[in-house]
Amino acid sequence: MTTQEILTKYNTIAVFGMSGNPTKAAYEVPEFMMKNGYKIIPINLVEKEILGKEVYHSIMDVPDKIEILDVFRPSQEALDVVKQAIERKKAKGDIDVIWLQLGIYNDEAKELAEQNGIEFVQNKCLKIEYNSQIKD
């Protein structure tokens, strides 16, 4: 599936590692996506609220359906995030796509995700892809 197809098909994005700091990409990118009609679900270990939304402390804590899991964590943490996502997919049947933001990549995580039926995008920014492929 292309990034354009992903951004057209799915609307709910859980952001793993979303920041409460407006100067960081992990805040700015989800804010941009939210302003363009996507439902954003923040996942962060310390924050309580970001962009007026309740923050969840783990992937499993999110009560809503997750379509895209957008990851803002270092590349070396991606495999662990994918393992958590697979656990959730097995338990709740959601998470269609794992998206590692620009500069984040992990081929082992990609292989594991794909083996478990999850689309995988790495080293790409949601905002850049949206601007280049969706926005007129």
In the chain, domain spans: 3-133
Per CATH, domain 3-133 is 3.40.50.12280:
no
Residue 17 neighbours by CB distance under 10 Å: 19
Q: At 47, is the secondary structure helix, strand, or coil? A: coil
- pLDDT tens, position by position, 82-133: 999 999 999 999 999 999 999 999 999 999 999 999 999 999 999 999 999 8
State pTM to two decimals. Answer: 0.97
